[in-house]
Structure 1
Amino acid sequence: METNFESIRGAIQLTRQLASRVNTLSPSTTLAITAKAKEMKASGIDVIGLGAGEPDYNTPDNIIEAAYTSMKEGKTKYTPSGGLPTLKDAVIAKLENDQGLHYLRNEIMIGIGAKHVLYTLFQVMINPGDEVIIPSPYWVSYPEQVKLAGGVPVHIEGKPEAHFKVTAEQIHDAVTEKTKAIIINSPGNPTGMIYSEDELNQIANVCKEKDLWIISDEIYEKLIYGDEKHVSIAQLSEDAKKRTLIINGVSKSHSMTGWRIGYIAGDATVVGAMTNLASHSTSNPTTTSQYAAIEAYNGPQDAVETMRKDFESRLDRVYPQLAAIPGFKVIKPQGAFYLLPEVTEAMEKTGFANVDDFAEALLTKANVAVIPGSGFGSPNTIRLSYATSIELIEEAIRRIHSFVKEKWRI
């Protein structure tokens, strides 16, 4: 007993020694669920994980070969902090070809994945007390990264009836004298929803009126379905381009999540500050991964389209199956590889007070790992990824359906 008290006392003392900024962080719901699912699977339980935030495809062979060749040629040394000039040129060409946007090398920085690029951006942009508008549902790391920079996340709700998107009026009403930026994620994680050109135009007008930075996370731009198309808000006008900082990378588009290459395109002063910070923190993105990314952008794009078509086919098959579960209300997403059903009625009818408990029961009783929407600022939803085999997705949905029917209270 005495030892326990000593352990507690020691833990408290250690906590006091930590920087206060890290004590404000919320643990990653996604990682926690994934870790528990892996633990169960390792113990022999037949768990199906639908929490994956990455494609289940391997990186295309031509990209792997380019990486291997670069190593054999001795390209294994330091590079400039902001990335290889040849990779910057590949990004510039991609933005010109895909969006008709023209950038110079000093307006591009290569980072260690889009997540680290965002982190670095907030570190150079945000002063203590600055507010950043974050539409919800949101990707889990946005508010945490803003807080780490000393900023204040300001959440505005994208309601299900608005397809989880926020309006220009909501943004206008949320702006204060402390507001510095807004984050737009289209296609979105966890919603899969896409902002139309008209919606983006209205948002751009508010940002011009209120003089806001626009942080445009476009990491899922290649995964779009049906007749939808990706529009970058930076395309809409010279003013929109001037205030937009595009975040993107090869993780989702080319199934290169583990290679950790992302980029920012935008204002040269901001990009320069980020590059300076990187020079004192990371030195440079992994050299081999940069050569792989050059091939990803400059090489054939057939594998990108093959993967997109497969994800669309999976979505078309599993969407009606998920929507048929009692108490599930599902809006068909337009992009990415997630489904975000609203499950309020299912929770109530199966005796669960909140979505965290509901997701926990799906994991421990139905052996299906999903991510509770509470981690995304959407407390009445769960996120399911269809970035796994169609057989596993359909079996997981059957298990969820059976669980809900069995627990349903008349």
Structure 2
Amino acid sequence: MSKRWRADRLGRLGSSIFAEVDGWKREARQAGHEVIDLSIGSPDAPPSETVRRVLADAALRPDSYGYPGSKGSPAFLNKAAEWLAYRFGVQVDPEQELLSLMGSQDGLGHLALALCNPGDIALIPDPGYSIYAAGLAVAGVEPYLMPLKAENGFLPDFNRIPEEVWKRTKFMLLNYPSNPVSAVADLGFFQEAVAAAKRHEVLIVHDLAYSEMAFDGYRPPSILQIQGALDCAVEFHSLSKSFNMAGSRIGFLAGNREAVGALRELKGNIDYGIFSPVQEAAIAALEEDIRGVNEPVAALYQRRRDVLLQALRTEGWEIPVPKATMFVWAPLPAMEWGLSEGWSSRRISREMLIRYGVAVIPGDAFGQEGEGYVRIALVNDEELLIEAASRMVRFIRGE
């Protein structure tokens, strides 16, 4: 047959590392290993009992099954605005400056379609979460990679971006606390970012999915706290990680009303919004946080971080201590520990899984600057994390 039933743009998405790692897991299990899966950042704890009950009760109501509306219920948008004010001191108009989403990935995947024309440029981090580049590929937008390096705290250097690139750029994407590198940024950095955006008439898109997963007393800020940020910035928030609602698929976009309105217009043409009971459950989760009812989810991940890093440190593998997220961005000591030259982070990750049954994500899956690292997700209990640390060290040492 001469027709091709597969769009060329799919080739620009690249292969899914998560599908690839799933194949490695099957190989490991066929080899008889009990796999410790530290690859995908999916919370292993449920939402609070109150949130689950609200969801269940709402799902049983006969009137919950109509189209919910793509914008989001007024009750959810108002509660999201209340939570932003409580958490960051940020005031937004829930009618014009907020939009509900099926998780932040929904918005990140569609935003370039709403904001850009083919041939425009967007600045994205390298390493960066895979949806950043994928959303651009679908929209025909050209990525310009901002290298994130350890010596600069994994922050981009705006002064190194050429003027001709700035002129073609529609938006730049920032992510702090960040996935995969677990870096953080302070208000001074965001002030610099807002100044650069205004100078070059560029929108800032800040992915703040990990705002509530910070450790050691650190509290991540919102870029919307910066004076004048509503003129040039939007920010994604997600209930997936912060409130253990990953499978519920709910989050929101806040900020500049023109950009929010553009995404609202696009989504008004492609979906009918979030299941109403999920929005009610999200309201309950945000309300519990405002009232301080439950232990913050960060406490669990801080304990896990400390257990894993201590176990690795005991074996001689020193890893920088992250201040936030559910990930550890681990520089590989392979060369010093005896693995032969030419072992990429991808080869190390695959062989470690197939031989020792520990699944992590190779750093190069997030961009070329990720080579030499692996991302370890803190998504198992402490006993399994200690066992995983032992297996990883044994593999790297060639035992």
Counterpart amino acid of residue 395 in structure 2: F
Q: 1:210 to 1:401 in 2, by over 3 A?
A: same
Counterpart of 2:354? 364
What is residue 71 of structure 1 aligned with on the other side? 59
Shift of 1:177: 1.6
Superposition pairs of residues 244-393 of structure 1, within 5 angstroms: 244-300=233-289, 305-323=295-313, 330-343=319-332, 345-346=334-335, 349-351=338-340, 352-377=342-367, 378-393=370-385
1:350 match: secondary structure: coil
- Aligned partner of 1:70: which letter? A
Partner amino acid for 2:65? T
Q: 1:382 aligns to what SS in structure 2?
A: strand
Q: Deviation of residue 171 (structure 1)?
A: 4.7
Report deviation, 1:38: 5.4
CA distance in 2, matches of 1:111, 1:63: 18
**Which residue matches 1:30?**
18
SS at match of 1:92: helix
CA deviation after TM superposition for structure 1 residue 329, in Å: 5.5
1:93 aligns with 2:75: no
Which of residues 90, 99, 123 is equivalent to 2:113? Answer: 123
Kindly tell me: are residues 277 and 380 of structure 1, through their superposed partners in 2, closer, same or farther at Cα, counting changes over 3 Å? same
Aligned mates of 1:360, 1:179 — CA distance in 2: 37
Give distance in 2, aligned partners of 1:341 and 1:58: 27
Q: Is the 8 A contact 1:347 1:355 kept in 2?
A: no
Which residue in the other structure is 1:405 paired with? 397
The match for 1:235 is 225
AA aligned opposite 2:199: E
Secondary structure of the corresponding residue to residue 215 of structure 2: coil
1:406, distance to aligned residue in structure 2 (A): 2.2
Deviation, 1:296, is: 1.2
Cα deviation 1:87-111 (Å, max 9, x = unaligned): 0001110111111111112211111
CA distance, structure 2, for counterparts of residue 196 and residue 172 of structure 1: 25
User: In the alignment, residue 210 of structure 1 is paired with which amino acid?
Assistant: H
Post-superposition Cα deviations, 1:93-152, rounded to whole Å, max 9, x if no partner, equal 011111111111221111111101112222101111111111222111101111111101
The Cα shift of 1:194 comes to 0.7
Residue 17 of structure 1 corresponds to which residue in structure 2? 5
> Aligned with 2:167: secondary structure?
coil
Q: Structure 1 residues 173, 347: CA separation in 2 closer, same or farther (over 3 Å shift)?
A: farther
Q: TM-score, normalised by structure 1?
A: 0.90
The answer as to whether partners of 1:107 and 1:265 remain within 8 angstroms in 2 is yes
Alignment of 1:147-296 (within 5 A): 147-171=137-161, 175-238=165-228, 240-296=229-285
| Number of aligned residues | 393
Please give the alpha-carbon distance, in whole angstroms, between the structure 2 residues aligned to 1:400 and 1:41.
17
Residue deviations 1:187-211 (CA, integer Å, cap 9, x gap): 1001111111112212221111111
Q: Distance in 2 between matches of 1:306 and 1:210?
A: 39
> Cα distance, 1:158 vs. partner?
1.1
Which residue in 2 is equivalent to 1:136? 126
Question: Structure 1 pair 304/386, CA: closer, same or farther in 2 (3 Å)?
Answer: farther
Assess, with a 3 A threshold, how the Cα gap between structure 1 residues 36 and 303 changes in structure 2: closer, same or farther.
Answer: farther
Q: 1:290-343 CA deviation, whole Å, 9 max, x = no partner?
A: 1111111123565763421121111122223334556x5622111001111122
- Counterparts of 1:79 and 1:28, CA distance in 2: 31
Per the TM alignment, residue 172 of structure 1 is displaced from its structure 2 partner at its CA by 6.6
Instruction: Report if aligned partners of 1:233, 1:241 keep a CA contact under 8 Å in 2.
Output: no
Q: Equivalent residue for 2:47?
A: 59
Q: Is the Cα contact below 8 Å between 1:70 and 1:76 reproduced in 2?
A: no
* Structure 2 residue 37 is the aligned partner of structure 1 residue 49: yes
Which range is displaced more, 180-189 or 228-237? Answer: 228-237
Looking at structure 2, the residues matched to 383 and 303 of structure 1 have their Cα atoms a distance apart, in angstroms, of 32
Query: Which AA in structure 1 matches 2:305?
Result: L
Match of 2:386 in 1: 394
Distance 1:202 1:310 in 2: 33
Identity %: 24
